[in-house]
Structure 1
Amino acid sequence: MPRRLLELPLLRRLKPGLYVHDEEALNAEPALDLLAEPITPIDAFFIRNNGDLPETGPAEAWRLTIDGEVERPLVWSIAELRARFETVTVTAVLECAGNGRSQFSPTTDGLPWRLGAVGCARWTGVRLKDVLEASGVKAGAVYTAHYAPDRNLSDPLRPALSRGLPIAKALATETLIAFAMNDEPLPPLHGGPLRIVAPGFPGSAWQKWLDRISVRDVEHDGEKMRGTDYRMPQTPVKPGEAIDPARFSVITDMPVKSLITAPAHGFSVAVGSILVVEGFAWSGAIPLAGLRASCDGGASWLEAELGDSEGPFAWRRFRLGFTIERAGPLSIVTQARDVEGNVQPFETPWNPRGYCNNQMQRVCGAAR
């Protein structure tokens, strides 16, 4: 029986509100009104897969191997990780690099994500830094290579995904080997029993079903680390222009962004009332600075007051109201900015793989 016929009922049962993309691998995203909570519920969190869903067995039997450019290769059970290292929780946004790809014109290669391939969760585990240092990272270490048992759907002899992290990010205190999500054991659909948590990096760097980390003295060249996979052009590339993969760089930071969760497209508001706009703003490695919003397509703006954050990599809620004085069409846009002055553009420059789309979301309705 095709694996999708087995996997899809599981998704429908565990995440009934998600839209499932028409792909052989299981990929799904929520409607935006399901993303209205500061901590995204697991049943509303998007699902991204490059291959099959592996059979992981009981968590008690799972093992994580550390090898490569280390002094002492080691193998850990989850119980041993918990006993040896400090358990920490990091609240962080997880966003697919291709989130919003469907907005690019002309269309690009890749899954046509709408805007729901993002969520914010509490991730609990041990610091990757601590685990690597227990093995003694050698001075020549450059990158980590991550491995998992999920397989390519067209060639089961190939891994579905094997990405990694620059050694500085691997040794950063926010980077985890996680075994829990939102205070629950990490679900298999989200990479349980173990996954990488790399706040600020695209979701492709958050390897699921982690069973081996090999420290390398070069940039990792595993599955979907080469060519243009999860890479951005170093200089602009126009549609139809010849592509030179040597002029693409690995995505190591997600851009500043915001998401309007209410109202929805097609809203109607009475003249004389208050139009309430709600959502979240976040950024990658560069801290979020603020957000402004407009209900007339950007002709005029109101500065939003951002809510409290659970940490530097969590998103922050915004909520503000517009007094509606006359009837007619309304076009809501929000523009987040970071502390270095980067802002969301009205339109993100096209790139051939449709990555890192942080253009301002537009929600249209009318005052009556």
Structure 2
Amino acid sequence: MKTPHRDVRADEGSSQQAQGTGRRDFLGLAGAVTVLGATLPLARNMPGGFVSTAYAQDNPDPAAMLAQVGKNSGLSVIGDRPFVAEAPEHLLNDDTTPIDKFFVRQNGIPPEAPGDAQAWSIIVEGSVDNPLTLTLADLKQRFENVTFRMVLECGGNGRSFFNPPARGNQWTNGGAGCAEWTGVRLRDVLLAAGLKPSAAYTGHFGADSHLSGDADREVISRGVRIEKALEEHSMIVWGMNGQDLPLVHGGPLRLIIPGWPGSASQKWLTRILIRDDEHDGPGMTGTSYRVPATPMIPGSGPEGVEFRILESMPLRSIVSSPANGTRLPAGTRKLELRGAAWGGDVAVSAVHVSLDAGATWHAVDLQEPRNRYDWRRWTAAIDLPSDGYYEIWARATGEDGTMQPHVVGNWNPQGYGGNPMHRLAVLVG
């Protein structure tokens, strides 16, 4: 008998990189010089030699690339082989991120859409007593169906803020989105397989193929500690925002491991291997999705440096309204702000905004999350003393007391963990 649905609402390198210093959060401010018809006081600090990401691609028509996968034309294409696109912050203004505004991160070549999605199957094997082969239809019938709204974030989100630049797709803050995911708890499936006492780690495998065309080469195969896999919100999903999971987002079946790098949320899932030791598939060794255990010299090589696996993603807050470069009518004395904040395994406890480069801070009104790993939407109304140019800074604070830094720290070769305060510009009058 079918289990009733329970709605629980209450990176590696890229073939193309943008040119610049990695502070693309300010590129919009520099561009606002033309849009606003003004000279910005901080223009001398803007990075030079920037080439628009769209023009950095081999494909001359990024809008066509986005349309092909059903994406909003406002997304920024930051990689074409594999295809990678992010949303500027102002497109992340919805409580639930629409599919057409959700970022895209591919590592290889996606599989063809299956003729019968319900027949798509996965294998659960390894350190289990009862190896399983389950179709999508089996998952729907055998296990409780749940829906959670949760953030999914690329491990390299914020990479462009590192100086000197780190390797890989030059994400700003748009390698994240918060969708409603429908599926089953991963733990229910693993417990049905009967975990052996030695079970320590998962290994995830998907149906995408390597960019080289070599059928024997795995694209990416990451895993997580068994404790994370058994969390209530770790899921195998087939639905996104009430629709069948799109192929571009891993449909018909993928993992969602919330709070950790999106690369652990294997798309086009075919196999889960339960291991007695740490998984060592592509994306698990060297500097791949790993950060230095102790601070390293910016720009230096990884030789002799101890690295640890990137797990919980760092705090991040964004201003989603107004958009960077907005011009307000003369005489405007109240600035209405809206944004979002999230923090991996660490819940967000507060968000503050500043109009004076951090000299003073204003607390925002935080919306309660539907469930754990939902982002926290926030609003604020800030008084403006006069017409003129203003920078808005946004800073999140975690329940453990940590705060977003002014500038990105903990430099690492692959540029993981870049989470400086979001900064944008508006002009009044």
Aligned partner of 1:359 in structure 2 is 420
For 1:94 and 1:225, how far apart are their aligned partners in 2? Answer: 19
Q: What residue is the counterpart of 1:47 in the other structure? A: 104
Q: Displacement of 1:8 after TM fit?
A: 8.7
4+ residue runs over 6 A deviation? none
2:266 corresponds to 1:211 = no
For structure 2, the residue ranges without an aligned partner over 5 or more in a row are 1-57
Equivalent in the alignment of 1:102: 160
1:15 is the counterpart of 2:75: no
Aligned residues: 364
Amino acid in structure 1 at the alignment position of 2:259: G
More displaced stretch, 39-48 vs 326-335? 326-335
CA gap of 1:272–1:181, structure 2 versus 1, over 3 A, is closer
1:92 to 150, 154, 170: 150
Query: What aligned pairs does 1:44-193 form with structure 2 within 5 A after superposition?
Result: 44-57=101-114, 58-156=116-214, 157-193=216-252
Aligned counterparts of 1:31 and 1:342: Cα–Cα separation in 2: 25
Q: What is the distance in 2 between the residues matched to 1:215 and 1:337?
A: 35
Contact 1:64 1:76 in 2 (8 A): yes
Q: CA deviation at 1:359?
A: 0.6
Which residue number corresponds to residue 36 of structure 2?
A: none
8 Å CA contact 1:149–1:159 kept in 2: the answer is: no
Q: Within 5 Å, give how 1:334-345 maps onto structure 2.
A: 334-345=394-405
1:253 matches 2:312: yes
**Match for residue 354 of structure 2?**
294
Give the TM-score normalised by the residue count of structure 1: 0.94
In the alignment, is the contact (CA less than 8 A) between 2:127 and 2:198 conserved in 1? yes
Letter in 1 for 2:233: E
> Does 2:282 match 1:226?
no
Amino acid at match of 1:314: D
- Relative to structure 1, the CA distance from residue 173 to residue 44 in structure 2 (aligned partners, 3 Å threshold; closer, same or farther) is same
Aligned letter for 1:16? N
How many Å apart are 1:327 and its aligned residue?
3.3
Deviation at 1:241, TM superposition (A): 2.5
Q: Per-residue deviation at 1:9? A: 5.2
- Which stretch of the first structure deviates more once superposed, 84-93 or 349-358? 349-358
* One-letter amino acid of the structure 2 residue matched with residue 324 of structure 1: L
Deviation at 1:155, TM superposition (A): 4.8
What's the C-alpha RMSD, in Å, of the aligned pairs? 1.8
Q: Which among 10, 28, 32 is matched to residue 89 of structure 2?
A: 32
Tell whether the 8 Å contact from 1:324 to 1:367 is kept in structure 2 after alignment: no
Q: Residue 258 of structure 1 aligns to a residue in which SS?
A: strand
The 3 A distance-change label for structure 1 pair 246 and 134 is farther
What's the CA shift for 1:245? 7.2
User: Counterpart of 2:248 in 1: which secondary structure?
Assistant: helix
Greater displacement, 323-332 / 160-169: 323-332
- 2:348 corresponds to 1:284: no
Q: 1:183 to 1:105 in 2, by over 3 A?
A: same
SS in 1 for 2:188: helix
Looking at structure 2, the residues matched to 289 and 245 of structure 1 have their Cα atoms a distance apart, in angstroms, of 37
Once structures 1 and 2 are overlaid, which stretch shifts more, 28-37 or 222-231? 28-37
Report the more deviating stretch, 358-367 or 225-234: 358-367
Alignment match of 1:262 (pick from 321, 325, 332): 321
TM normalised by structure 2 equals 0.81
Q: Which runs of 5+ in 1 are unaligned?
A: none
Q: For residues 280 and 396 of structure 2, what CA distance do their matches in structure 1 show?
A: 34
CA distance in 1, matches of 2:179, 2:237: 12
Task: Kindly indicate whether the alpha-carbon contact (under 8 Å) linking 2:127 and 2:196 is maintained by their aligned counterparts in 1.
Answer: yes
Q: Report the identity percentage.
A: 42
Whether contact under 8 Å (1:271, 1:324) holds in the other structure is no
Distance (whole Å) between structure 1 residues aligned to residue 148 and residue 304 of structure 2: 34
Q: Partner of 1:328 in structure 2?
A: 388
Match of 2:378 in 1: 318
Cα distance per residue 1:264-301 (max 9 Å; x no partner)? 22223334521112110111111111111111121111
Partner of 1:239: 298
Match of 2:38 in 1: none
Q: Distance in 2 between matches of 1:267 and 1:51?
A: 37
Instruction: With a CA cutoff of 8 Å and minimum separation of 6, indicate the structure with the bigger relative contact order.
Output: 2
Query: Does the CA-based 8 Å contact 2:333-2:386 persist in structure 1?
Result: no
* CA-to-aligned-CA distance 1:170-223 (integer Å, 9 cap, x gap): 111111001111111111110011111111111111110001001001100001
Kindly state the Cα deviation for residue 107 of structure 1 after the two structures are TM-superposed.
0.7
SS state of the match for residue 112, structure 1?
Answer: coil
